[in-house]
Structure 1
Amino acid sequence: MTPIITTIDLLKLASGDVLFLQVYKFVGEQLGKKAYIQSNLHGAEIVGNAVIQQLIEFLTQLDSSQLRGEIWLVPVCNPLGVNQRSHFFSTGRFNSYDGKNWNRIFWDYEKQTEDLAEFAQSQLENEPEVIRNNYLAKIKQAWSEELERIEAPSSVPISQQYRYKLQSLCLDADYVIDIHSSSNQAINYTFGFKERIASAKYLLLEYGILMDEYDGDAFDEAFLKPWLALERELANLGKEIKFDLESWTLELGSGMVMNPASVAQGVAGIKNYLAYKQILTSPTPVTAAEITLAEKHKINSYYAPTGGMIQSRLSLQTRVNSGDRIYQLLSFNKQGKAPEVIDVCAETTGIVFDISTNQCVNQGEYVMDILDC
């Protein structure tokens, strides 16, 4: 199967150079669902690019009869972030121009709609697919107004111009997967909405974080949040509907590295998930893996109680009990005293979930996360 490759003009720089997005579209013989998968929204989080490259290779080897619907793949989806550097280190989590987090800029239709209750009331006699099409039409109409603002003489800031190009690719998708990794060092896991958590086990990751609080500004949230709001409004009116729409963030390992194990787990999980959703015809049975689920507020972050150097820190996925030493802080006192070694202990039970890359910390800087599970 040969992909349709589309190159999209993204941003023109002061130098005259132009940044582009490239979309790889695989279209099956039969009509069906649309899956949208992107990577590298944060500049240092590069592992998803290898996942997408392997998915492209895999899909190219298939016959179009083995794909029902469409799969759109967008690697290096944020060229500005990917190319940011500070000495040897990739940064690119925040836009260097305005300081905004690249994954907190997206357009959430729910925030601007004022007639959701009225719309839901008008749809009570319709079938779910009709309601979906009608609501999607409203979203697209509002989205066209975004383009009008961009094309006005006053235009809009870079974040709004960028998000328009990226979100336009997935407004009509059924399933969205946004591949990230830790900015530091972390285990593999997924972020998901509790309303869709039944599907999480098909991503074949050992851990899943339930988004108990969200504002709709992240890419996965902006896609699904308006639909969850419509589901709640319809339920309040006595019509229980669950649209077959899902979004996931995959967090695969550590920033600035292409960890082969994280890549392999990401590829296997996405292929299995697409087979579960009947987009791919799989020669092997669809697998449902055991997954440990925890709410986001159960991630306990530890910050340095004073400045110094981290030593004897526990490694990722180590299970700890309350009171266990999780790291030592070597603190240098410039007051005529000897250096001090401070033991820092866990406040709760759980696993070591994420650790800082830099083991030199000022007071109050991040050291590690422990997931209470």
Structure 2
Amino acid sequence: MIPTISTIPLLHLASGDRLSLQVYKFVGAKPGKKVYLQANLHGAEIAGNAVIHQLIAFLMTVPEPELTGEIWLVPVCNPLSTNQRSHIFSSGRFCAYEGKDWNRIFWDYEKQGDDLEAFAQSQINLDPVAIRNNYLIQIKQSFDKLLEKIQSPSGVPFSQRFRYQLQSFSLDADYLIDLHSSTNQGLDYLYYFRGREASAKYFLFNQGILLDEYDGDAFDEAFIQPWLALEDTFKRLGREIKFDVEAWTLELGSGMQMNPNSVEKGVRGVKNYLVQKGVLAMPGFTSADAASPEMTFTAKSRVIKYYAPAGGMIQSRVKLGTVVKAGEPIYQLLSFNKSGNLPNVIDVVAEQTGLVYDISSNQAMNEGDYVLAII
């Protein structure tokens, strides 16, 4: 199967150069679900680009009759962020012009939509497919108004142009997969939303973090929140509906690295997800590939992040992937002073038992700097 390749202009620079996005679309012989994948929203998080490259190569070997629906893939989805540097380090987590996290800028219909209860009441006796179609029309009509402001004489900041472009690709998707990595050093895991645990297992990861609290306006949140809100509204009206709409963020290892094991897990997980969701028919797909591992689910609200209690240097720390018990030492901070006293060592212990799943790359700490996280 040969993809349709579209190149979309994104940002015209003062130098006259232009940054663009490239979208690879695979369309099957039969209509069905739309799957949207993107990678590298944060500049240092590059592993997902290798995942998408391997998926493109794989999908080109798939006959059209074995794909039901369509798959859109966007590698290097934020070229401005990817190209941002401080010395040799990728630093593209925040928009340099506005100081905003690139993954906290997205438009969320649920926050500004019309009366949701009135809409749900008008749809209460319809089947879920019809309700989804009607609600999506409503979302698109509201989304289209953003373009009017973008094209107005006063215009908008680049972050709003950027979010409009990515969300225009993905707004009507059924399944959205956003490929990230740790900004620091991290394990492989995924973020998921309530009611989607069964599908989460299809990615074949060991760890899943439930987004039961939100930082606000992240790409996956903005996509699925309107549908979760509609499910809640129907529930209050006495009808249980779960729409076949899913959003995932896959965290693939460490920033500024394409770890082969993390890439392999990402490719294997996405393939299996597509098969299990009925998007791909793969004769010969082995049961070993399809088997779900023992997956641990934890709520984001139960993650504890540790921050340096003083300035200094981390001279010892537990390794990434270590299971620690409450009260056990997790790192030592060698702390210096300018008060005529000798340097001292501060021992920090775990507040609770858990898995060390993310650690800072930098071991020089100002007071309050991030050190590690335990799930």
Smaller-chain TM-score bracket: over 0.9
- DSSP-derived class of the 2:41 partner: coil
Partner of 2:66: 66
- Percent identical residues: 63
CA shift, 1:215, in A, is 5.9
CA shift, 1:216, in A, is 4.8
Q: How does 1:77-116 map to 2 (within 5 A)?
A: 77-116=77-116
> Retained in 2: the 8 A contact 1:314–1:327?
yes
- DSSP-derived class of the 2:23 partner: strand
Change in Cα spacing, 1:341 to 1:215, as seen in structure 2 (3 Å) is closer
Q: Counterparts of 2:154 and 2:176 in 1: how far apart (Å)?
A: 32
Partner of 1:289: 293
CA shift, 1:206, in A, is 0.6
- DSSP-derived class of the 2:150 partner: helix
Q: Counterparts of 1:98 and 1:204 in 2: how far apart (Å)?
A: 37
> Retained in 2: the 8 A contact 1:45–1:181?
yes
> Retained in 2: the 8 A contact 1:40–1:77?
yes
Partner of 1:207: 207
> Retained in 1: the 8 A contact 2:104–2:215?
no
Partner of 1:164: 164
Partner of 1:230: 230
Q: Counterparts of 1:304 and 1:11 in 2: how far apart (Å)?
A: 39
- DSSP-derived class of the 2:195 partner: helix
> Retained in 2: the 8 A contact 1:108–1:216?
no
> Retained in 2: the 8 A contact 1:303–1:366?
yes
> Retained in 1: the 8 A contact 2:207–2:295?
yes
Number of aligned residue pairs = 371
Alignment of 1:349 with 2:357, yes or no, is no
Alignment of 1:337 with 2:341, yes or no, is yes
Q: How does 1:121-160 map to 2 (within 5 A)?
A: 121-160=121-160
- DSSP-derived class of the 2:270 partner: helix
Q: How does 1:169-248 map to 2 (within 5 A)?
A: 169-214=169-214, 216-248=216-248
Q: How does 1:5-16 map to 2 (within 5 A)?
A: 5-16=5-16
Deviates more, 1:39-48 or 1:206-215: 206-215
> Retained in 2: the 8 A contact 1:275–1:281?
yes
Cα deviation per residue 1:326-367 (whole Å; 9 max; x = unaligned)?
111112233333332222111111111110000111111111
- DSSP-derived class of the 1:169 partner: helix
Letter of the structure 2 residue corresponding to residue 78 of structure 1: N
Deviates more, 1:93-102 or 1:238-247: 238-247
Letter of the structure 1 residue corresponding to residue 327 of structure 2: G
Q: Counterparts of 2:347 and 2:238 in 1: how far apart (Å)?
A: 56
- DSSP-derived class of the 1:11 partner: strand
Partner of 2:250: 250
> Retained in 2: the 8 A contact 1:215–1:221?
no
- DSSP-derived class of the 1:312 partner: strand
> Retained in 2: the 8 A contact 1:308–1:330?
yes
Partner of 2:28: 28
TM superposition score normalised by structure 1:
0.97
TM superposition score normalised by structure 2:
0.97
Q: Counterparts of 1:320 and 1:333 in 2: how far apart (Å)?
A: 30
CA shift, 1:289, in A, is 2.3
Listed as ranges, the gaps of 5+ residues in structure 2 are none
Listed as ranges, the gaps of 5+ residues in structure 1 are none
Alignment of 1:317 with 2:321, yes or no, is yes
CA shift, 1:214, in A, is 2.1
Q: Counterparts of 2:103 and 2:274 in 1: how far apart (Å)?
A: 24
Q: Counterparts of 2:324 and 2:8 in 1: how far apart (Å)?
A: 48
- DSSP-derived class of the 2:221 partner: helix
Cα deviation per residue 1:89-124 (whole Å; 9 max; x = unaligned)?
001100000100000000000111122111111111
- DSSP-derived class of the 1:162 partner: helix
Letter of the structure 1 residue corresponding to residue 313 of structure 2: M
Which residue, 352, 360, 364 being the options, matches 1:360?
Answer: 364
Q: Counterparts of 2:242 and 2:45 in 1: how far apart (Å)?
A: 32
